[in-house]
Amino acid sequence: MDFIISEEQQMIRQAARDFAKNECLPGVIQRDEQQKFPKEQIMKLGELGFMGMMVDPKYGGSGLDTVSYVLAMEEISKIDASTSVCMSVNNSLVCWGIQEFGNDAQKEKYLTPLAMGQKDGELYIGAFLLSEPEAGSDATSQKTMAEDRGDHYLLNGTKNWITNGASASVYLVIAQTDPAKKSNGINVFIVERDTPGVEVAPKENKLGIRGSDTTSVMFTDVVVPKENRIGEDGFGFKFAMKTLAGGRIGIASQALGIASGAYELSLAYAKQRKAFGKEIMHHQAIQFKLADMATRIDASRLMCLKAASDKDNGRDYTLSSSMAKVFSSETAMWTATEAVQIHGGYGFVKEYHVERLMRDAKITQIYEGTSEVQRIVIGRTILK
Ligand code: CAA
């Protein structure tokens, strides 16, 4: 077994680290306070090739592997999880879904600008619309209907908790076309945001990842051309599950980044902060916390890289991505909470960053499948 990261992968990690420090850190507290979408950062990430990392260069992507994606996601997430979720959704839910299952015309028209994060100098990103007011974990209970009208579908319904809801130009919408067939009567459509009948609700006022925009999206008699359906009739639920398995690697590495960001800040603080006559790192109570953080983070990183390597090498990654996600997100929540504790009163104020990381960590246990859903996936797989 080889744990060596290649020179190219190291360069990508360094580029992401530099980007996070130089472009994401300035203003990260203000963007969080003001719920300001990191548009400038996303545009620059697009220029650097980070918005379509695994997309074929023929379609404007960087043609990199999933391991490189995990390394980049960790670095960006250490500093700015609002930016990294936008990057994750665009890369692994939207671009990957179209690349893997879309036809040539769909790739030509949509994948190329999505992978570049821009079109004609304007932001151009995607969103993945599966969740509904009554279909979150229970994703087969889709109420959004796409009625087959011959050469087009007529789309009606409401989606909620949509990351990039207000900023995306392209939506991948999962909808029911034949309720009698249950999960086999679900399809996925590419819907352009400016299609008549599409309405975006105001941004949710959230606990964490406040820079990212999360909205509901309503569809009223939206005409979707037949050529915008991805895959065979009835493929939509499998599309969602397969795409989410890769998405969970992105969120697992986001959680890993939040944890390692909180750990690095705690380590630096413990080295300089003095109490009872010595730096607090010399107190065993603090040292043990740091030791546990480092151990759990190392395990998370290995799990993320294992899931990425499974994907890159054509192995089934449903199990390893769910395991990486549940473990990394629980590590992020625990580590960020302990980071606030190590910082004491300073940890409770915004300037020290760890309170934001603690708030940002929580969502990693919820989106792209809650920790409970990951345990369902893991349980079903190991019991097969
Ligand atoms: N790959 C391929 N097919 C799969 C699959 C996979 N990984 N998982 C399930 N399927 C297939 C099943 O084989 C089954 O097919 P057949 O009917 O042909 O046998 C079909 O899909 C239905 O599967 P289940 O019977 O297992 O479905 P279920 O109702 O029991 O649900 C679940 C399973 C795992 C709980 C699933 O509903 C799930 O993953 N829920 C969570 C959804 C989720 O992650 N939501 C997050 C929203 S997106 C988001 O957060 C994005 C964002 O903006 C950040």
3-state secondary structure 7-33: HHHHHHHHHHHHHHHHHHCCCHHHHHH
C-alpha 295/C-alpha 302 separation (Å) is 11
What is the 241 CA–ligand 1 centroid distance (Å)?
5
Q: Which two tokens stand for residue 175?
A: 């909808």
What local confidence, expressed as pLDDT, does residue 2 receive? 79
Q: Ligand 1 pocket test: which of 241, 310, 319 has the largest number of ligand atoms within 8 Å of its C-beta?
A: 241
Q: What percent of the chain has a predicted confidence (pLDDT) above 90?
A: 98
Nearest CA, atom 4, ligand 1? 238
What is the 383 CA–ligand 1 centroid distance (Å)?
17
Q: What is the mean pLDDT of residues 94-122?
A: 98
**What is the separation of C-alpha 128 from the centre of its chain, rounded to a whole number of angstroms?**
10
Q: What is the mean pLDDT of residues 352-381?
A: 98
264 catalytic per annotation: no
Tokens 């060596």 locate to: 4
User: In whole numbers, what is the pLDDT of the chain averaged over residues?
Assistant: 97
Nearest ligand 1 atom to the CA of 138 is 37
Q: Is the CB of 139 under 6 A from ligand 1?
A: yes
Residue 3: band (very low, low, confident or very high) from pLDDT cuts 50, 70, 90: confident
Please determine, for residue 67, whether its predicted confidence score (pLDDT) is greater than 80: yes
Q: Is the CB of 132 under 6 A from ligand 1?
A: no
C-alpha 105/C-alpha 313 separation (Å) is 27
Please determine, for residue 1, whether its predicted confidence score (pLDDT) is greater than 80: no
Class of domain 7-123: mainly alpha
Please determine, for residue 50, whether its predicted confidence score (pLDDT) is greater than 90: yes
Annotation: CATH topology of 244-382: Butyryl-CoA Dehydrogenase, subunit A; domain 3 (1.20.140)
Q: What is the mean pLDDT of residues 17-37?
A: 98
Taking only the tens place, the pLDDT of each residue in 111-149 is 999 999 999 999 999 999 999 999 989 999 999 999 999
- For residue 97, give the DSSP letter: H
Q: Is the CB of 131 under 6 A from ligand 1?
A: yes
Q: Which two tokens stand for residue 163?
A: 């990351």
Q: Is the CB of 94 under 6 A from ligand 1?
A: no
Residue 262: band (very low, low, confident or very high) from pLDDT cuts 50, 70, 90: very high
Q: What is the mean pLDDT of residues 362-371?
A: 98
Q: Is the CB of 163 under 6 A from ligand 1?
A: yes
What is the 369 CA–ligand 1 centroid distance (Å)?
9
Taking only the tens place, the pLDDT of each residue in 368-379 is 999 999 999 999
DSSP bridge pairs for 189: 173, 229
- For residue 202, give the DSSP letter: P
Domain ranges of the chain: 7-123, 126-234, 244-382
Q: For residues 364, 338, 81 and 63, what is the CA-based torsion angle, rounded to 10 degrees? A: -80
Catalytic residue among 264, 355, 368, 372: 368
Q: Is the CB of 89 under 6 A from ligand 1?
A: yes
Largest interatomic CA distance in the chain: 78
What is the 51 CA–ligand 1 centroid distance (Å)?
25
Nearest CA, atom 29, ligand 1? 140
What local confidence, expressed as pLDDT, does residue 184 receive? 97
Residue 191: band (very low, low, confident or very high) from pLDDT cuts 50, 70, 90: very high
What is the 357 CA–ligand 1 centroid distance (Å)?
29
Nearest CA, atom 21, ligand 1? 238
C-alpha 44/C-alpha 37 separation (Å) is 14
What local confidence, expressed as pLDDT, does residue 30 receive? 98
Asked if 130 and 239 count as a contact pair (C-beta separation under 8 A), the reply is no
> Right CATH number for 126-234 from 2.60.120.10, 2.40.110.10, 3.40.30.10, 1.10.10.10?
2.40.110.10
What local confidence, expressed as pLDDT, does residue 119 receive? 97
Q: Is the CB of 184 under 6 A from ligand 1?
A: yes
Alpha-helical (H) ranges within the chain are 7-19, 28-34, 39-47, 66-79, 81-88, 96-101, 104-106, 112-116, 236-272, 284-312, 318-343, 354-364, 371-383
Report how far apart, in Å, the C-alpha atoms of 6 and of each of 2, 13, 63, 75, 310 are.
11, 11, 15, 17, 17
Taking only the tens place, the pLDDT of each residue in 195-248 is 999 999 999 999 999 999 999 999 999 999 999 999 999 999 999 999 999 999
